[in-house]
A and B are shown apart, each in its own frame.
Chain A
Amino acid sequence: MDKPTDPISISLAEECRVFCRYLIHREPNDYVLSIYKKGHSSPGFAAAPPPSLMDKMLIRIARRHPMLTRVADAYSRVFFKRSLLRRKLVLLLAILESCAPGHYYLDSTDGVSRTVFFLKLVQHSTLYALSLVFGVLLFLPLHIFTRMVSLSPSEKQETSSMPELTNPLNVNTEKHG
């Protein structure tokens, strides 16, 4: 497969490598790299609102190292679920579960006893909590600042919209076809 030469492809490839190491502890192969790039021009991905300043900053930091990806991801999960970073990570996760070798990792277990599993879960949860604390320290001031500067459409949605089925018993939606 030809190596990408344009700057966007190069930065997407670099980002894919870092994110892949973050998600499954290994480098992506050429197929994953090409599909990750292709996914960025798909209608579903492109349907997102234009990236906000906060989106750009999160990605700039997250793509530097898998540890920083974790910090940015932990922050996004709680404070910016609809961020471009989460979209990119979910896109990559979907690609990885669809093809070898990524799916081998995702479809396998660690093969440990229940006790070891719970100990590891505590370890992961602690690291998540620490990442979140770092994330808050690093990103919250930036987030507040960028929101004061400009409220992007994606962030407006984040604060104003409720999931469609929060209380489906009171469903009164109108559908058209």
Chain B
Amino acid sequence: MDKIIVIGSGASGVHFAQSVLQKGYRVLMLDVGFYREEMVNPEDSLTDLKSNLNDPAAYFLGKDFEAVIYPDAEGEYYGFPPSKNFVFANLKEFRFKSRGFSPLFSFARGGLAEAWTAGSYPFNDEELEDFPFNYQDIEPYYNQVAERIGIIGEMDDLTRFFPVHQHILPPLKLDEHSRVLIESYQRKKDYLNNKLKSFIGRSRIAALSEDRNGRKGCTYTGRCIWGCPTGAFYTPSLTLKECMSNPNFQYLPGMFVSHFKVDSAGKLKSVVARSVAEHSTREFAAEKFVLAAGALPSTKIYLDTIYHHTGEIVTLKGLLDNRQILVPFLNLKMIGKAFNPQSYQYHQLAIGMETGEPKNYIHGQITTLKTAMIHPIIQNVPADLKTSIFLFRNVHAALGVINVIFPDFRREENYVTLEVDNRNGTSRLMINYVPPAGEKTMIKKTIKQIKKVLSALGCVVPPGMIHIRPMGASVHYAGTLPMCKTPRAHTTSPDGQSNDYENLYFVDGSTYPFLPAKNLTFTLMANAARVADTAF
């Protein structure tokens, strides 16, 4: 069997690798591969850690107190704990410049999804309209990935938006606040469904509610944000670990891939990588190459390859990303109640909003506040800290946030290209993003609708607290090398094969021709498994 080189160990890369390994291929995976430290006290709950660790402040705030958010902090707050620093650790070899876009990059073992919130929603036929395949074509791979990673969910009012694939496990226990919200929804269902076209139900999440394939079901330690100690919460590094047990799989970390070398026939002959530790350059030859480094890093490797091959600097139009809005709320029924830290920490409920046009479906993830760090919130209450602490302690269990996600369509004005420094031959990725016309109106309308929904559920939105996140914050990047049925330059075939280099394949978000208002990771994994099956 041919040897395949896969670049990147994120959600797409590991599921592609697992599928081709099952077919008997030999795989070499090149990756920078920053990795997390061992889980501390895996049996402890989050509350136990605060008492049992020798230096809890180092764990929760970081050795350099990097997780402390001071009043003069600027930029987007993501709330990533120190234990996930490895996910977004900088790599000086990767250079970029962006306008209207604040990207996050990961060079971690497992990629960006090592810090995801596990929302796993299949795209439906309307959302796949611009793709060169339909739901029926990708469904077997949704099934396959669901079986591999474990997805929990329920057949409820959200099923109208999320196709029902196989291997959906029973959901986790609801935390009290989520339970109160869903009960309120049941009482106001007619009004919410018919008047506000809004539907609420259980999130589909890549987590285990029961023991499966050597992984323990969720034990409700409350440590989801800091890193699940039992493996109940899925991250791609778990699949990477499985791949590593296959003798045909070789994982080579510490390698930053810059570009491919092209032979005289226009085929890729090798990949050029720089050893991060030794600062030396190495070349790896193979028959086929698969880019799975994430939409933007993969695009940079592709652009650098063209530049090294022809001297041409190409501009790729159609960059996609989901706009997100954070709508915090206070549930009046929960005021004064205690919160339970020993519960699942990310969103357990989701909201779907019809807009009249199925592709414009708007999705929201409803997260009730539990164990996230509180000092970044408390200091923003418009009062002295003593009053703020009193208020916060008594409304902690009543707080929540809806992360509203909007779809994105490929547009000419959003592009990526290279800027090359001719003095030393280095390049950086240039990213430009302009929001669509009419976005302000759409956001305003959606916020109004969300406020009405929350009001019907007995919640209020604190004034001035809605936050429109900058583009790039969703980390759902896609669309630079779209899949299409008719071959064109700088596109890929329906099977992710480059229309410019025949032995190059893309399995990450770069090939999406459209980005629905849903977390894209589950589809990334399913599509990677699909490409592995149909093209290899």
A residues neighboring B (CB under 8 Å):
22-24, 35, 38-39, 42-45, 48, 70, 73-74, 77, 81-83, 86-87, 89-91, 93-95, 97-100, 103, 105-114, 117, 120-121, 124-125, 127-128, 131-132, 157, 163-165, 168-169, 171-177
CA distance A35 to B59 in the complex (A): 12
**A43→B373 contact, CB < 8 A:** no
CA distance A163 to B468 in the complex (A): 13
**B70→A121 contact, CB < 8 A:** no
Which of B331-356 touch A at CB < 8 Å? 335-339, 341
Q: Is B135 an interface residue (CB 8 A)?
A: no
CB distance from B74 to the nearest CB of A (A): 5
Contact with A along B458-494 (1 / 0, CB 8 A): 0000000001111100000000000000000000000
CB distance from A136 to the nearest CB of B (A): 13
**B393→A109 contact, CB < 8 A:** yes
Given the complex, which residues of A lie within 8 Å of B341, measured CB to CB?
A: 107
CA distance A48 to B51 in the complex (A): 31
The answer, among B60, B71, B95, B470, for a CB contact under 8 Å with A171, is B470
**B56→A98 contact, CB < 8 A:** yes
Given the complex, which residues of B lie within 8 Å of A81, measured CB to CB?
A: 71-72
Given the complex, which residues of B lie within 8 Å of A109, measured CB to CB?
A: 336-338, 393-394, 396-397
CA distance A132 to B335 in the complex (A): 26
CA distance A98 to B335 in the complex (A): 24
Segment of B27-35, B213-221, B435-443 engaged in the interface with chain A? B435-443
Given the complex, which residues of B lie within 8 Å of A86, measured CB to CB?
A: 70-71, 379
CB distance from A133 to the nearest CB of B (A): 12
Closest residue of B by beta carbon distance from A103? B50
CB distance from B122 to the nearest CB of A (A): 30
Q: Is B409 an interface residue (CB 8 A)?
A: no
Interchain residue pairs with CB less than 8 A apart (10): A77-B383, A97-B374, A98-B61, A103-B50, A164-B74, A165-B75, A168-B469, A173-B98, A173-B470, A177-B95
Given the complex, which residues of B lie within 8 Å of A131, measured CB to CB?
A: 384
Given the complex, which residues of A lie within 8 Å of B468, measured CB to CB?
A: 165, 168-169
CB distance from A64 to the nearest CB of B (A): 16
Given the complex, which residues of B lie within 8 Å of A44, measured CB to CB?
A: 64-66, 68, 70
**A176→B96 contact, CB < 8 A:** yes
Closest residue of B by beta carbon distance from A73? B384
**A177→B96 contact, CB < 8 A:** yes
Q: Is B103 an interface residue (CB 8 A)?
A: yes
**Which are the 9 A-B pairs with shortest beta-carbon distances?**
A42-B65, A98-B60, A74-B384, A99-B56, A100-B51, A94-B375, A73-B384, A168-B468, A124-B387
Given the complex, which residues of A lie within 8 Å of B393, measured CB to CB?
A: 105-110
What band does the interface of chain B fall in when counting residues whose beta carbon is under 8 Å from A? Answer: 35 or more
Closest residue of B by beta carbon distance from A83? B71
Q: Is B420 an interface residue (CB 8 A)?
A: no
B residues neighboring A (CB under 8 Å):
47, 50-51, 56-57, 59-61, 64-72, 74-76, 90, 94-103, 105, 335-339, 341, 373-375, 378-379, 382-387, 389-391, 393-394, 396-397, 428, 435, 439-440, 443, 467-471
CA distance A164 to B379 in the complex (A): 17
Closest residue of B by beta carbon distance from A35? B57
**B384→A90 contact, CB < 8 A:** no
**B386→A169 contact, CB < 8 A:** no
**A39→B65 contact, CB < 8 A:** yes
Closest residue of A by beta carbon distance from B66? A44
Closest residue of B by beta carbon distance from A90? B379
The answer, among A39, A93, A113, A173, for a CB contact under 8 Å with B99, is A173
**B72→A113 contact, CB < 8 A:** no
**B335→A99 contact, CB < 8 A:** no
Closest residue of B by beta carbon distance from A177? B96
**B378→A175 contact, CB < 8 A:** no
**A177→B90 contact, CB < 8 A:** yes
Given the complex, which residues of B lie within 8 Å of A132, measured CB to CB?
A: 384
**B387→A128 contact, CB < 8 A:** yes
**A172→B387 contact, CB < 8 A:** no
Given the complex, which residues of A lie within 8 Å of B56, measured CB to CB?
A: 98-100
**A93→B375 contact, CB < 8 A:** yes
CB distance from A171 to the nearest CB of B (A): 5
CA distance A83 to B393 in the complex (A): 25
**A39→B68 contact, CB < 8 A:** yes
**A98→B50 contact, CB < 8 A:** yes
The answer, among A45, A169, A175, for a CB contact under 8 Å with B443, is A169
* Additional pairs, 18, CB under 8 Å, beyond known A83-B71, A110-B336: A39-B68, A42-B66, A48-B70, A77-B385, A81-B71, A97-B373, A98-B50, A106-B374, A109-B337, A110-B390, A112-B394, A117-B394, A121-B391, A127-B386, A128-B383, A128-B386, A173-B102, A177-B428
Given the complex, which residues of A lie within 8 Å of B337, measured CB to CB?
A: 109
**A169→B68 contact, CB < 8 A:** no
CB distance from A71 to the nearest CB of B (A): 9
Q: Pick from A39, A110, A117, A171 the residue with the most CB of B within 10 Å.
A: A171
CA distance A147 to B238 in the complex (A): 57
Closest residue of A by beta carbon distance from B440? A169
Closest residue of B by beta carbon distance from A128? B387
Given the complex, which residues of B lie within 8 Å of A97, measured CB to CB?
A: 60, 373-375
**A164→B75 contact, CB < 8 A:** yes
**B50→A100 contact, CB < 8 A:** yes
CA distance A34 to B138 in the complex (A): 56
CA distance A172 to B98 in the complex (A): 9
From known contacts A82-B71, A169-B468, infer whether A112 and B386 are also in contact, taking CB-CB under 8 Å. no
From known contacts A90-B71, A94-B375, A169-B435, infer whether A70 and B384 are also in contact, taking CB-CB under 8 Å. yes
